[in-house]
Amino acid sequence: MTSLGKRNEERTHEENQERAYIAASHRGDRSLEARMESARKASEIHKKRTGKALRITEDDVRNEEMYQEIDEPEETREPRRHGETSKRQGGSTKK
């Protein structure tokens, strides 16, 4: 068995759901609203699995970008809308 086949067998149901929602969010034949909803659902599942949500923006969804993990609680409440910047804190918040 190949390592890829073995990895597929090891994926959890939640990992598969997350991957499916991400794939759906990248499908250009769906409306932006439907793609955003799929991306939000992927982020919710990712947060349950890892403790970190995914940063979801309309630009990221529209441009089929990779979603980055975030761990700031205020950023997980509402996805940013088109035109908002990602540098709200002005730099690193690590102390």
Q: Is residue 84 part of a domain?
A: no
User: Measuring CA to CA, which residue among 89, 84, 79 is closest to residue 55?
Assistant: 79
Q: Is residue 8 part of a domain?
A: yes
Interhelix angle 13-25/32-50, rounded to 10 degrees, is 150
Which residues constitute the domain of residue 7?
3-77
Q: Return the number of other C-beta atoms located less than 10 Å from residue 59's C-beta.
A: 13
pTM attached to this predicted model: 0.66
Q: Is residue 95 part of a domain?
A: no
pLDDT at 7 over 50: yes
Percent of the chain whose predicted confidence (pLDDT) is above 70: 65
Q: Is residue 36 part of a domain?
A: yes
pLDDT at 94 over 50: no
What's residue 83's pLDDT? 56
User: Distance (Å, rounded) from C-alpha 92 to C-alpha 95?
Assistant: 9
Question: What is the number of domains present in the chain?
Answer: 1
Q: Is residue 90 part of a domain?
A: no
